[in-house]
Amino acid sequence: MKTISLDNYTDKYESLRMERHDGILEVALHTNGNPMIFSKTVHDELGFAFADIAADRENKVVVLTGTGDRFCTDFDPESFKSFNGLGDNITASGWDRTIWRGRHNMRNLLDVPVPMIGVVNGPATVHCELPLLCDIVLSSDTAVFQDASHFGNGVAPGDGIQVAMLLLMGLNRGRYFFLTEQNLSATEALDLGLVNEVLPPEQLMPRAREIAARIAKLPPLALRYARTLLTMQLRQLMDVGVGYGLALEGLSAIDLPNYQA
């Protein structure tokens, strides 16, 4: 694998702000410096950013978080229209690009070869699986978890969130989560094992840095191989589930205008 340095990618991405100290890379997702709005830009950048992070062997631990008082609560469907079409404008070739990008994003997140700490800085109702797929998850006591962008909007949840939540929550709890549009508090997420610690917002990053500093002192190959082993099941399930899931999500999206009519 080609190796790169932080200078090659730290200012490369519009929606990711990155800085590193003592081998600990902090990655904050954002939109114009504000809380992230999940858009085509974010969708386009995530997989490539994770690949760059993975290729930089100076990274010992990665801390992934959001910006401001929430992780992500907004979705920008208009930004995707020129890419894959939506509703009655969707095309097979356009949705094929969505399938490729979705698989690329999930695979590259899980292929980051060092431990990852997810810091949920507030409500995560759009793509909450991103921080939850990290090895250690810290949550603000202000956070809530939901899948607000799929089933309630008439679209099957197939872009990887279904793989993550069914595995993390268990089949019955996971199906209930999606089909009822369940909104989980931080405490409920802790009780279900989705997150490891719940803290006041101002304590999140200090705690993440404390854990990261301890982990970063361990031998590099221990870090890399532990991450590989601990994500093996997730990577296998994502490889199977995301392509198939996004194909079915696309079919449900195509039919949505007929239902609304």
| CB-CB contact of 27 with 53 (8 Å) | yes
Q: Are 102 and 242 in contact (CB under 8 A)?
A: yes
CB 18 within 8 A of CB 56: no
Is there a catalytic annotation at residue 78? Answer: no
Residue ranges of alpha helices (H) inside the chain are 40-55, 81-84, 92-110, 129-132, 161-169, 171-179, 186-191, 201-216, 220-230, 232-260
Show Cβ contacts of residue 229 under 8 Å, excluding neighbours closer than 6 positions: none
β-strands 116-120, 61-65: how paired? parallel
Neighbours of 40 (CB within 10 A): 18
Residue with tokens 């930004």: 79
Among 19, 45, 58, 129, the one annotated catalytic: 129
3-state SS class at 104: helix
How would you classify the pairing of strands 144-145 and 184-185? antiparallel
Q: Identify the CA nearest to 193 among candidates 143, 137, 140, 141.
A: 137
Torsion angle of the four alpha carbons 234, 236, 239, 240, in this order, in degrees rounded to the nearest 10: -110
How far apart CA 73 and CA 56 sit, in angstroms, is: 30
Are 167 and 156 in contact, with CB atoms under 8 Å apart? no
| Active-site residue list | 129
